[in-house]
């Protein structure tokens, strides 16, 4: 029951997040080609106007794919507003959930948010390594969340949405914070004569490197800490395989369609 409650609240929160990108894009007359929630196989896949709406099974991610030509014609400021609209929606939803819990006492809501909720999120980020080990797995975190009544469901809604706010603002490629940084660097370098397609090629390779480090950093840390020559050799071998894998992926149509925008 706890996992089901978490699943539906998280999916709704992802949808609210992506709606922010979608509607602010509409405000600036940017065509949305696709709005997708989740990952894996789709159980809802339909078109409304020019936009494909998809809801997928696994609550891992979401995206709004805007028309590249429309995005390129927008100013940097408007692009940043589109990118930050998702976390703004999550912030509003989190504040509303706390407001309900505080019986619509606005002062109490602010007190709870800044003295309890936000510090708890930073504590999670500071102790994120525990989520990667046997003593603090993600599955344990899921099942330990209390959602036995309506009040606790609102509490879970507040925690999930404030987590999405700070999680998406991290300067990581693929997240909103990383996209804001990339857009800012791209537009700044264009003023100095760097072509957009050259920047995209460089940025795409840096994205792959960053994502690889994020995925394998805990493993690499353990290998380096062990000071075992055999593990060093295994790590080097894995690195070579990853380099080959990424090179092969970069030649596929999926990569070219989603990452090589010029």
Q: pLDDT tens digits, residue range 85-118?
A: 999 999 999 999 989 888 888 888 888 888 877 7
Assess whether 19 and 142 both reside in one domain: yes
Residue-level pLDDT at 6: 84
Do 100 and 40 lie in a common domain? yes
Domain boundary among 188, 206, 234: 188
* b/e sequence 55-85, b meaning 16+ C-beta within 10 Å: bbeebeebbbebeeeebeebeeebbbbbbbb
Residues 6+ apart with CB under 8 A from 121: 159, 162, 163, 166
210 shares a domain with 149: no
For residues 129 and 80, membership in a common domain is answered with yes
Asked if residue 176 and residue 51 are part of one domain, the reply reads: yes
Instruction: Give the whole-angstrom CA distance, residue 164 versus residue 90.
Output: 7
Last residue of a domain, one of 170, 188, 206: 188
Residues 154 and 222 in one domain: no
Residues 167, 222 share a domain = no
Quickly state the pLDDT bin for 132 (edges 50, 70, 90).
very low
pTM above threshold 0.75: no
| Residue 175 shares a structural domain with residue 212 | no
Segment 59-84, tens digit of pLDDT: 778 889 999 889 888 998 999 999 99
Mark which of 154, 188, 222 sits at the end of a domain.
Answer: 188
Give how many domains the chain has, as a whole number: 2
- Both 60 and 157 in one domain: the answer is yes
Are 182 and 224 in the same domain?
Answer: no
- pLDDT, tens only, 168-212: 888 877 789 888 988 888 888 888 777 767 766 777 677 667 666
- What's the domain range around 225? 195-259
- Whether 23 and 120 map to the same domain: the answer is yes
Q: Strand locations in 28-183, DSSP E?
A: 32-48, 51-66
Residue 230 shares a structural domain with residue 127: no
Which single residue is written with the structure tokens 């979401």?
A: 62
């Amino acid at each position: 029951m706890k996992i089901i409650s978490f699943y539906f609240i998280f999916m709704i929160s992802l949808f609210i997040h992506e709606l922010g990108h979608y509607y602010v894009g509409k405000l600036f007359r940017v065509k949305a080609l696709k709005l997708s929630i989740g990952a894996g196989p789709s159980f809802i896949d339909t078109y409304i106007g020019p936009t494909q709406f998809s809801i997928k099974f696994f609550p891992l991610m979401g995206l709004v794919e805007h028309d590249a030509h429309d995005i390129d014609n927008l100013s940097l400021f408007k692009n940043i507003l589109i990118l930050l609209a998702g976390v703004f929606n999550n912030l509003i939803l989190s504040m509303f959930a706390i407001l309900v819990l505080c019986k619509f006492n606005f002062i109490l809501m602010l007190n709870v948010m800044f003295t309890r909720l936000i510090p708890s999120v930073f504590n999670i980020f500071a102790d994120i390594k525990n989520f990667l080990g046997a003593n603090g797995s993600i599955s344990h975190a899921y099942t330990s969340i209390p959602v036995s009544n309506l009040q606790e469901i609102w509490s879970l809604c507040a925690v999930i949405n404030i987590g999405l706010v700070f999680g998406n603002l991290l300067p990581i490629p693929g997240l909103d914070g990383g996209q804001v940084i990339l857009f800012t660097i791209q537009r700044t370098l264009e003023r100095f004569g760097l072509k957009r397609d050259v920047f995209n090629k460089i940025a795409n390779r840096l994205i792959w490197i960053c994502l690889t480090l994020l995925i394998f950093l805990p493993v690499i840390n353990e290998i380096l800490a062990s000071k075992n020559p055999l593990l060093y050799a295994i790590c080097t071998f894995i690195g070579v395989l990853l380099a080959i894998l990424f090179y092969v992926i970069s030649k596929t149509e999926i990569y070219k369609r989603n990452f090589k925008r010029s």
